[in-house]
Amino acid sequence: MAPIPDTFDLVPLTRDRLPDVLELDMWAFPTGDGIEDMLKLPSPLSWNRTFGVVESDHPERLVALHASYRFAHCPVPGGQVRAAGLTWVGVHPQWRRRGLLSAMIGTHFAHCQQWGEPVSLLTASEPAIYGRFGYGLATRRLHLTMKRGAALRPVPGSDDISVRFETASLDRHGDLVARLHAAVDRPGWVTRETPQLATMWLTDAPIFREGREVERIAIAERAGETVGYALFRRKSNWAESGPEGTVGVQELVAPDPAVAHALWSRLLDLDLTTEITSGMLADDDPLLSLLVDLRAARVTVKDNVWARIIDLPTALTARQYQASLDVVLEVSDARLPHNAGRWRVAAEAFGSAQVERTDAEADLALDVRELGSAYLGGPSLCELAGAGLVTELREGALRKASIAFGWPIAPGSSWIF
């Protein structure tokens, strides 16, 4: 990986430099919000994981930065792994094209190894950036727009679920949201593990509203026990023909079909609205099957979580495989050579796996980017091979490996980090 260019220094950042961090972030990601308002918000950053680039002759001048979140319990197929959520990556426009991004990514990879985090994850502001650093698109998200009153198929037990609406509050709902969100077992479903992230998620500042109302929460209960929730905001709009308000669902957590049906039924029937949108649905979200007329909804597919394998054997042994597997992978990795070479992956279906170097002939050849794409059980190896990104070297190996690397539950994250 590229070193920090001459005339620049990489430095750890502390909370007292928050104004500089926000100023740089506003240069990297233009916003109409003022820094005074942004300084009033709780920062989601973990300062022991936040680093900046300064000019050597002017250390007060912050020209680039990156940070990461600690995901100590990131779900992967059949298990968990320690992961680093790369975030707040930005370079001031004046100092672009100097190699600072490459140097910061290299520093991040070194920190991942130092901290014992074999996987790095991110949600990208620009999807074209991170592939060249070995990140592969591991999960996709669906953006769904429905008409008010969209019919759902009946679900037994839905009538036993009560739903109440409240104004979302960190004090009243923080523990509820954290508990139910962390209980979801979906690959890639990272949760807000740090107090800073949990606080940020339920902070309802005006600059987050974009003309919408304060944040609301729908709470689902069964026999007096809280079993699910939905965070949402409405936006009022009036036309000559009457109300045309919208509902934006930010996050919905439901552990079973009855809860999902009850929550969506209420959200689809709010007065003075005509459209309901949800932009963070996994490929297999139950709502897609609950809708009587999916064709009437507008569905857009977008990228979600990108995964980068930092420590190949540790990452691949941390997950399970849905079929018995004995395959030799020829992996290329231009930026982390310790991942490159031939690896034998041997696993029992839904059991333990062993990953070790081998001199045996390879069955499949792929770059670490494609290995990251397949890691969470999302895009299949067959899909990637169909795009010319995975090469089958032994007949029959591709289908067997593709089945094994898959998972019954589609991966996904419910929030952008």
Q: How confident is the model at residue 353 (pLDDT cuts 50, 70, 90)?
A: very high
* Domain finish residue from 85, 119, 139: 139
| Shared domain check, 327 and 245 | no
Q: How confident is the model at residue 376 (pLDDT cuts 50, 70, 90)?
A: very high
| Shared domain check, 160 and 290 | yes
* Domain finish residue from 279, 303, 327: 303
Amino acid, res. 228: G
CATH assignment of the domain containing 268: 3.40.630.30
| Shared domain check, 264 and 208 | yes
Q: How confident is the model at residue 126 (pLDDT cuts 50, 70, 90)?
A: very high
User: In the prediction, which pLDDT does 268 show?
Assistant: 98
Residue 199 covered by a domain: no
**What is the domain extent for residue 48?**
8-139
| Shared domain check, 364 and 248 | no
Report the C-alpha gap between 199 and 353 in whole angstroms: 37
Q: How confident is the model at residue 41 (pLDDT cuts 50, 70, 90)?
A: very high
Taken as a whole, the chain contains a residue count of 417
| Shared domain check, 105 and 161 | no
Q: Is the pLDDT of residue 373 over 70?
A: yes
- Among 258, 301, 264, smallest CA distance to 282 is for 301
**Count of the separate structural domains present in the chain:** 3
Residue 187 covered by a domain: no
| Shared domain check, 271 and 151 | yes
* Domain finish residue from 139, 154, 185: 139
Mean pLDDT, the chain, as a whole number? Answer: 97
| Alpha-carbon distances of 187 from 38, 183, 279, 282, rounded to whole Å | 33, 12, 18, 11
Q: How confident is the model at residue 3 (pLDDT cuts 50, 70, 90)?
A: confident
| Shared domain check, 98 and 13 | yes
Residue 183 covered by a domain: no
| Shared domain check, 280 and 220 | yes
Cα-Cα-Cα-Cα torsion 229, 230, 234, 239, nearest 10 degrees, comes to: -110
User: In the prediction, which pLDDT does 310 show?
Assistant: 98
Helix ranges (H only) for 255-396 are 257-267, 287-290, 312-318, 368-375, 381-386
Q: Tens of pLDDT along 268-281? A: 999 999 999 999 99
| Shared domain check, 278 and 317 | no
pLDDT more than 90, % of the chain: 96
Q: Tens of pLDDT along 197-219? A: 999 999 998 989 989 999 999 99
User: In the prediction, which pLDDT does 15 show?
Assistant: 97
| Shared domain check, 123 and 70 | yes
- The mean pLDDT of 284-296, rounded to a whole number, is 97
User: In the prediction, which pLDDT does 1 show?
Assistant: 63
Instruction: Tokens for 364, please give them.
Output: 């499949």
- The mean pLDDT of 263-269, rounded to a whole number, is 98
The rounded Cα 209 to chain-centroid distance in angstroms is 21
Instruction: Tokens for 110, please give them.
Output: 């070194």
- Among 392, 396, 130, 161, smallest CA distance to 256 is for 161
| Shared domain check, 131 and 224 | no
User: In the prediction, which pLDDT does 403 show?
Assistant: 98
